[in-house]
Amino acid sequence: MSEGGSSPTNSADASSSSATINITDGDSTISQDSQFDRWNKKLRLVTGLGLRSEEERQEWLQRRCLGWKDEIMETSPMIRYLLQHLSVLPVPDQDSSGSQQIPIPIDCDICIPLLSAGLFSPTDPDPSRPSGGQIKLCANSLPSKSRMEDVLSHELIHAYDHRRFKMDWKNLFHVACTEVRANALSGDCNWTREVDRHVFTFAKQRQACARRRAILSVAQHISEPLEPDNPLRTKATDTAEKIVDQVWSSCWNDTRPFDEIY
């Protein structure tokens, strides 16, 4: 009787033990799958390989942009020089902004519609503070770290002009001047950059580039981007050309905060 009575108990215990093992094994499998998925996604975001969706691609682009930005701000002599000079300039309507922190917000974002690789805005993200401006880098339009360095240099020169000269961004002559300076001083008009754009000029190449790109930017301030054959676009370009020509000499020769154009 004792043997017969013990059998059902042992059987139930065994069944319970087996069920527990199966559940534990199942949880373990789910946990392992979940860990693998997380590891796999992290690997995709680090390498950029095998991205499964547009959302993942955008997340990877932003991560890459932030990583490049941090590296450039630590290692680029050009960027460090501009940040140093920007940090000692007063923010409009405020005392000197000199500090050990980054003197201007610099963010990475996905830019839609994509009109530029970088943007300077004279407004501050924090409406409670006087505005020293902010910079946005377009993660979906920066194919390399060297390209980002040129773009960030360009936008930092706009930021420098905004603080140094108390610019009126509604004044197209002010806009034209800062565009001439930013294109001339940032590296945007280096010969190799022009070759990337399939523009091959040797005589006064940098001047031609700075003038062309300044005219394009001022024209965009005059009107929204239009089709090439649209009469309004032609009119905006003609007006922009006249404005740039009027400020050209003084703005091209103003290399602050640099001693000269390198």
Residue 6 has pLDDT above 70, yes or no: no
- Kindly give the pairing relationship between strand 134-138 and strand 106-109: parallel
Whether 174 has a pLDDT exceeding 50, the answer reads yes
H/E stretch holding 175 reads helix 172-185
Q: What pLDDT sits at residue 2?
A: 36
| pLDDT score of 232 | 66
Report, as an integer, the average pLDDT of 178-200.
84
Indicate whether 45 pLDDT > 80.
no
pLDDT mean across residues, the chain: 79
- pLDDT value of residue 112: 83
Mean pLDDT of 42-56: 63
The type of residue at 167 is: M
Spatial separation of the C-alpha atoms in residues 198 and 106, rounded to whole Å: 30
What pLDDT, on the 0 to 100 scale, is given for residue 191?
A: 73
d(CA 32, CA 35): 5
Where exactly are the structural domains of the chain?
168-262
Q: How confident is the model at residue 126 (pLDDT cuts 50, 70, 90)?
A: low
- DSSP one-letter string for 103-158: SS-EEEE--SS---SEEEESS-SSTTS----EEEEEGGG--SHHHHHHHHHHHHHH
pLDDT at 23: 40
CA 25 and chain centroid, separation? 46
pLDDT at 230: 64
% of the chain residues with pLDDT over 70: 68
155 is known as an active-site residue: yes
Residue 245 in tokens = 């020509």
Model pLDDT for residues 136-170, shown as the tens digit of each residue = 999 999 999 999 999 999 999 999 999 999 899 99
Distance CA 97, CA 131 (A): 11
Write out pLDDT tens, residues 16-25. Answer: 443 333 444 5
- In the numeric block, the tokens 């070759």 are attached to 195
pLDDT in tens, 204-240: 888 999 999 999 999 988 876 656 666 667 788 999 9
What is the tens place of the pLDDT at every residue in 90-110?
A: 876 554 444 446 789 999 999
Higher pLDDT, 122 or 32: 122
155, 179, 194, 241: the active-site residue: 155
27 pLDDT more than 70: no
**pLDDT score, position 34:** 73
Q: What Rg do the C-alpha atoms of the chain give, in angstroms? A: 29
**CB-based contacts of 209-213 (< 8 A; 24+ apart in sequence):** 209/183, 210/180, 210/183, 210/184, 210/252, 211/180, 211/244, 211/248, 213/179, 213/183, 213/188, 213/189
